Structures are given as structure tokens and as C-alpha cells.
Homo-oligomer: A and B are copies of this chain.
Amino acid sequence: MIRTPYLLFLGDAPDQLAAKVAQGIKDWRPEYAVGQLRLPGCKADMRLPDMTLTEARQAGCKTLVIGVANRGGVISQSWKKVLVQALEEGFDLASGLHNLLRDEEDLAAVARATGRSLHDVRVPDVKYPIANGVRRTGKRMLAVGTDCSIGKMYTALCMEKAMHARGMNATFRATGQTGILITGGGVPLDAVVADFMAGSIEWLTPDNDPNHWDLIEGQGSLFHISYSGVTLALIHGGQPDALILCHEPTRTHMRGLPNHPLPSLEAVRDTALAMARVANPACVVAGVSINTAALSDTEAAEYCAEVETRLGLPTVDPFRHGADRLAEALEAL
């Protein structure tokens, strides 16, 4: 686990979008987001107090999180100075970058000398077991999508918020780099070795209180040929009690695959449910989450109503409308 709270490092982010990791932390774990550190030229702003390293330490920050995607896969020298100083001032570092902190010799040396931790959440640091399929106590929800990058993480995070507001016992379980940085822990599933994928999800969602819900972040899609194996490992390792279907209605083809059309929500419902019942015969599809970012208010409401009628399942954009109806659907199970 990554020590919290965080100082969010925005570096020289060229725009707000480049700092989406920092944005995710601020949106979903505001209690972790104590301040931001920006270099000259930074165009992103989380509307958090700008802090020096010393100020952030005094404010209680334990970890400097790299909240920005860099370009070209190199940790620039302008970043290095701050990162080295942060280690020397007692911060751990956390990063989801492809190029690893631990592979930077200067950072690795300072971390060793100061006894500080470098968290590269892009790669696993746990030896996961092979899945054993034994039924676990507690309940689990998994977000499954018609495609990749369609809002599965936001769906699970919105549901966690709505469930907490209802007084329900629920924990978001991150399976990707951004989710891990937001919450401080999880499994970087796309970097796990094939044989241990399902086992890593069993590890992530162990026995729990009977009324506790793990809200498992989905990855990929059963219908995305590049990543479908990852999705099936989530379905079988997660042994979900409930699936939430996720969809983005304006997408014309599978992400990165111009010749592959999206499957229907019905196809995802039927295929994912049949596969989920191999691991948990009691699994049901509990609701639908629509990413309506590209639609007007009226269009979004109409589209959700149409899907709700067609599938007979509560259908909302949890980011736009709140996830209360999805939380209610889980509560009713």
C-alpha cells in the first residue's frame, strides 16, 4: 500500500488532460489530495494549494504522486531534481509511468540511501497465487463493458460513493494503474503474468463480511480481441455476485480496432453472465452504466430510458446522474 496523504506532482503538464491521474485522486479521494506541486510552464491546475516539498511535509504528506503522463517515456531532468529532493525530504514516490522509477539509477540510489519507497504501480510487486475458485464470503460487483476505456473505473468509484452515502459497506478494488494511485493499492492486471491473472483478483477480493461489497474495476471487454483474456480472468477470479454493464453510445468501433464493431449490450449481458456463472452460479446482471459525456442532457436521459426499457435494468450515467439507483439495485439483491 502507498502511504497517504499525497502531494500531487503535476510537473510541466501541457494541459489539464495530461494530469488525469491527479484529477482522479482529487475527484475520488479528496482527503488524500493535500496539495499540488507544479513546475514552470505547467498548464494543469487541480485547484489545490500550491506547496513546496517542505510545506507539504509540514501538512502531513507522505508520498509524492506523479499525477501527470509524461511524453516520450523519459523522466526528464527537470523532474529528477524535484524527485530526488522529495526522497531526501522523506517522501515516498509513486508513479504509474511505463518507464519505472526503480530503473532510474539516481532515484534508486537516493531511495536506498534514505530508506524511502519507490512505488511503480505499472508492475506487480506481489507473487500472486493461481486461482483456486473456492467461494469467498462477502459480495462482489464487477463492471463489464462493451469496449475498453468506456467508464468502468468511474462506474465503480461512483457506486462506492453512492453506497457509502446509503450507509452500505463497500470498497472500490483497483485493477489498473490510475485506480491504484487513486486508492493506494490494487492489482495492475494488465502487467500480471497470464497464469496468475485470475489468482491476482482472488487475492484482491478476499473473504469479507457477509454484507460487504467489493466493487471491482473492470478491464478490457470480452469482445475486445486484444484484451479479452484479461476481462475473462476478472470475471472468473472475481466470482462476482452482480455485473454492471458499461457502454458508450457514440463509439463506432472497438478502441484501436477500426474493423471491429461494438457488441450490443445484450450480447455483453448474455456472454458475461454465462461466463460469470461458471465461477458463481448465483450471479445476476444488476444494472447498466452509460457514459453519456458526448450527449446533451436530453439525449442522455432519452438514451438511458431507452436502454432501461429494452433491458429491463436500472440504467444511469453514474457520473452525470449519480449511481444511487445502481447502489439500490445491489442493496436489493
How far does the Cβ of A146 sit from chain B's closest Cβ, in whole Å?
A: 12
**A194-B189, A194-B191, A222-B275 known; A236+B232 contact, CB < 8 A:** no
B190 and A194 within 8 A (CB): yes
Q: Scoring A residues 245 to 256 as 1 if CB is less than 8 Å from chain B, else 0, what string do you get? A: 000000000101
Chain B residues near A256: list those with CB within 8 A: 132
Cross-interface CB contact of A233 among B228, B239, B278, cutoff 8 Å: B228
Point out the residue from B132, B191, B233 that lies within 8 Å of A229, measured CB to CB.
B233
A257 proximity list for chain B (CB < 8 A) = 132-133
Residue in chain B with minimal CB distance to A135: B259
Q: Contact: B190 with A192, CB < 8 Å? A: no
Say yes or no: is A266 at the interface (Cβ < 8 Å to chain B).
no
Q: How far is the CB of A233 from chain B (nearest CB, A)?
A: 3
**Distance (Å) between the CB of A51 and the closest chain B CB?**
36
Q: How many of chain A's residues touch chain B, expressed as a range?
A: 35 or more
Chain A contact residues, CB within 8 Å of chain B: 130-134, 189-195, 197-199, 222-223, 225-233, 236-237, 239, 254, 256-257, 259-260, 263, 271, 274-275, 278-279
13 extra interchain contacts, Cβ-Cβ under 8 A, other than A133-B226, A190-B194, A191-B195? A132-B257, A134-B259, A194-B227, A197-B229, A223-B278, A225-B236, A225-B239, A229-B231, A229-B236, A231-B232, A263-B278, A271-B271, A271-B275
